[in-house]
Amino acid sequence: MPHSPLRAAPLALALAIALSPAAHAAEDPAVPRKPTELDKVEVIGKADAYVVPESSTATKTPTPLRDTPQSITVVTQQLIRDQAMQNMADVVRYVPGVTMAQGEGNRDTPVLRGNSSTSDMYVDGMRDDVQYLRDLYNIDRVEALKGPNAMIFGRGGSGGVINRVTKQADWKTVREVSAQFGSWNKRRVAADFGQAINDTAAFRVTGMFEDSESYRDDYDARRWGVNPTLSLSVGENTAVTLGYEHFEDDRVADRGQPSEPAVFNGTRIKIDADPSTFFGDPARSDVTADVDAFTALVEHDFGGGATLRNRTRIADYDKFYQNVFPGAVDPTRTQVAISAYNNATQRTNVFNQTDLIWNATTGSVHHTLLAGAELGHQKNDNLRFTGFFGAPGSTATSVLVPLGNPRYTGPIDWRQSATDARNHSVANVAALYVQDQLEFSPHWQAIVGLRYDRFDVDFTNKRLDEGNPNRNLSSTDNLWSPRAGLVYKPIEPVSIYASYSIAYQPRAGEQLASLSPTNKAFDPEKFTNYEIGAKWDIRPTLALTAAVYQLDRTNVVVPSAVDPTVSVLVDGQRAKGVEIGLAGSLTQWWHVMGGYAWQDGEVLAGADKGKRLAQLPENTFSLWNRFDIAENWGVGFGAQYRDDIFAQLTNAVTAKSYTRYDAAVFFDANDHLSLQLNLENLFDKEYVVSANSDNNIMPGSPRAASVSLRYKF
């Protein structure tokens, strides 16, 4: 396709309850903030600490996190730096209740409350839903909002969403360059420059280049990106922020290793192979992603408590991946099947959001009112080819190779099979939403909101003849997404809340490529979340949170038990759990971030009734500690525990539980130069980090080290 332009031991459980991490998010990245200060975040104590007290993301209005009736976790810039995070898989390690699936080695696939998604990703509150692997070079912080979020974000968001907040020009002088070198030829450089041009204009440019290898044989990743932003003060009460990002990622699509053919202790596990062994052919498993995105934000303060905000994002994505990957190992354990396919996606997203925020008082009740509209247009082309093994014209869609040497280097004929996709879709959304945040007294608050989305999809199956009635399909969904929350504050730093929300997933699917004659007439899948929780700001620099939830997925299409040729809607699955979090500073020199989650999920109907949801550990625990042991020295130590998970819904293959430890040393040589050593998997534990299916299981990295240098001038 052509390129387009633009689960936990008693000790761990006790530690989790005593020292678990707080969910905290950050403000909506509104405009710069020099002249107008329309929406600012106050950072407590050390700059870029592990806790932020206020966010706009979950409500579209500046709201203290303890007063937001939803489980939210923020990964701050300081935590990103301390752990040398670079991607979304790094981010979710210390987010309670969130894990990351393998994503076939070519895309971010977070699992939030038992629901995996490749599209519930946002940047500055705007949809960023193409399947690719995101970087953090231009990111100030990452927010995980758990539970359905349709009132704010629209369709999808079934288990939650992940929002990245970008670095913006803000009239502050930033001049920083950094370099990182590590195990397996890890090489990365980054830069961040920003300053005021004058009293009414400021700019900032972030950039990154990486060329790295891996513990996986013949794996490499090369990526670069640049993101300039310009902030303008247009008059006394108006601010404008413009930004553009160009990002390219080229790497090997690594789908890991298969499972053992024999059952041990009632289950199958990953094949006993060295973590470095690549199955398939890395030379013909290539992923490329090009992203060009323009953003514009305009805010105007009318005075009298009224603010108007308009945000636009126009993004062009060109994504291609090809993989030659493992299937099942034969019963004799001498051979493994290899298959192959490729897929190209081109998508253009155009979204515009307009929000009017108004503060008012009626009697003794204070209102923060939000009225808004969103318009969106998405154009998508999808093309897939199957790899046939052997000479041109071959019909073999798999080939067996020796288990002792699981590479395939023979010929592959790439062509369309009878089931390969070749389609074009256009989706249009028009949404209206209203919300009221009510403060009845110092002790009682509430939030109520309702969103209406009209979601239209026109789908063309280009594999069918022009006159075929199934060639051109369309669907229209009218989605009503309510949200309600009640907050009780017995004392100012403590909030106890209950909330209810609904989200929908239209039949076109999260990637707009699943519309068919058999599913288009059905109502969208529905996700209903019930949650109660508590948040305690123990002090301004330390926050403790807890949440209990139940998330029901209904309107799932399955074959009828009476007549398998007929499809019916059933209650599909239920996930429930407990999340506990702690984030911030226990003392001036001890900073923590971590969490504990207990989760249970099962299929409620259909052929898989009673099975546990895939990629859902019963227990997870994580705790990161940074100790500032001297004025210019610090050390870090972290632990992560994950229970067994099933690789997929078959519940046939188990990725075993593990505990992994990480460490770091920090040294500030002077006011300008800082150095940092990070050690991953300190005790060289062998473990499975993620999975995509029963035979695509990713071994975790052996012990790895990296050194980072950061220079400010």
Those residues with Cβ within 8 angstroms of residue 279's Cβ, 6 or more apart along the chain or in another chain = 255, 256, 257, 258, 325, 326, 336, 338, 406, 407
For residue 323, tell me if it sits in a domain.
yes
Both 159 and 185 in one domain: the answer is: no
Is residue 507 left, alpha or beta, with left meaning phi > 0 and alpha meaning psi from -120 to 50? Answer: alpha
> Is the confidence at residue 9, as pLDDT, over 80?
no
**CATH number of the domain that 158 lies in?**
2.170.130.10
- Looking at residue 40, its pLDDT comes to 42
Mean pLDDT across 649-659: 97
For residue 106, tell me if it sits in a domain.
yes
- Looking at residue 687, its pLDDT comes to 98
b/e map 342-381, b = 16+ CB within 10 Å: bbbbbbbbbbbbebbbbeeeeeeeeebbbebebebebbbb
> Is the confidence at residue 628, as pLDDT, over 80?
yes
Both 53 and 137 in one domain: the answer is: yes
> Is the confidence at residue 27, as pLDDT, over 60?
no
Both 486 and 630 in one domain: the answer is: yes
Domain-terminating residue out of 129, 148, 165: 165
- Cβ contact 112:144 at 8 Å: yes
Quote the percentage of the chain above a pLDDT of 70: 93
For residue 302, tell me if it sits in a domain.
yes
Parent domain of 146 = 10-165
> Is the confidence at residue 351, as pLDDT, over 80?
yes
- Looking at residue 606, its pLDDT comes to 87
> Is the confidence at residue 1, as pLDDT, over 60?
no
Domain-terminating residue out of 132, 165, 198: 165
Both 155 and 303 in one domain: the answer is: no
- Looking at residue 463, its pLDDT comes to 94
- Looking at residue 580, its pLDDT comes to 98
> Is the confidence at residue 48, as pLDDT, over 70?
no
Which residue has 């905000």 as its token pair?
Answer: 309
Domain-terminating residue out of 105, 134, 165: 165
Quote the percentage of the chain above a pLDDT of 90: 88
- Closest by alpha carbon to 617, among 691, 696, 698? 691
pLDDT tens column, 81-140: 999 999 999 999 999 999 999 999 999 999 999 999 999 999 999 999 999 999 999 999
Computed over every residue of the chain, the mean pLDDT equals 92
> Is the confidence at residue 619, as pLDDT, over 90?
yes
Alpha carbon separation from 634 to 20, 75, 82, 591 (Å, rounded): 22, 20, 10, 11
Both 370 and 392 in one domain: the answer is: yes
What's the pLDDT band for 15 if we cut at 50, 70, 90? very low
Both 330 and 432 in one domain: the answer is: yes
- Cβ contact 276:216 at 8 Å: yes
> Is the confidence at residue 667, as pLDDT, over 90?
yes
> Is the confidence at residue 14, as pLDDT, over 50?
no
Both 396 and 528 in one domain: the answer is: yes
- Higher-pLDDT residue of 455, 3: 455
- Cβ contact 387:397 at 8 Å: yes
- Looking at residue 11, its pLDDT comes to 31
For residue 567, tell me if it sits in a domain.
no
**CATH number of the domain that 323 lies in?**
2.40.170.20
> Is the confidence at residue 43, as pLDDT, over 50?
no
Both 595 and 509 in one domain: the answer is: yes
- Looking at residue 521, its pLDDT comes to 85
Mean pLDDT across 384-390: 98
How many domains does one find in the chain?
2
> Is the confidence at residue 23, as pLDDT, over 70?
no
- Looking at residue 562, its pLDDT comes to 76
Cα–Cα distance measured from residue 144 to residue 197, given in angstroms and rounded to the nearest whole number:
34
For residue 557, tell me if it sits in a domain.
no
What's the pLDDT band for 531 if we cut at 50, 70, 90? very high
For residue 4, tell me if it sits in a domain.
no
What's the pLDDT band for 704 if we cut at 50, 70, 90? very high
pLDDT tens column, 414-424: 999 999 999 99
Both 91 and 65 in one domain: the answer is: yes
Both 638 and 596 in one domain: the answer is: yes
Both 54 and 97 in one domain: the answer is: yes
The strand pairing partners of 106, in sequence order, are none
Mean pLDDT across 546-551: 98
pLDDT tens column, 233-287: 998 899 999 999 999 999 999 999 999 999 999 999 999 999 999 999 999 999 9
For residue 563, tell me if it sits in a domain.
no
What's the pLDDT band for 683 if we cut at 50, 70, 90? very high
- Cβ contact 543:65 at 8 Å: yes
Is residue 555 left, alpha or beta, with left meaning phi > 0 and alpha meaning psi from -120 to 50? Answer: left
Cα–Cα distance measured from residue 357 to residue 62, given in angstroms and rounded to the nearest whole number:
10
- Cβ contact 65:204 at 8 Å: no
- Looking at residue 110, its pLDDT comes to 97
Question: Reduced to 3 states, what is the DSSP secondary structure of residue 12?
Answer: helix
Both 268 and 364 in one domain: the answer is: yes
Mean pLDDT across 211-229: 98
What's the pLDDT band for 566 if we cut at 50, 70, 90? confident
Question: Reduced to 3 states, what is the DSSP secondary structure of residue 593?
Answer: strand
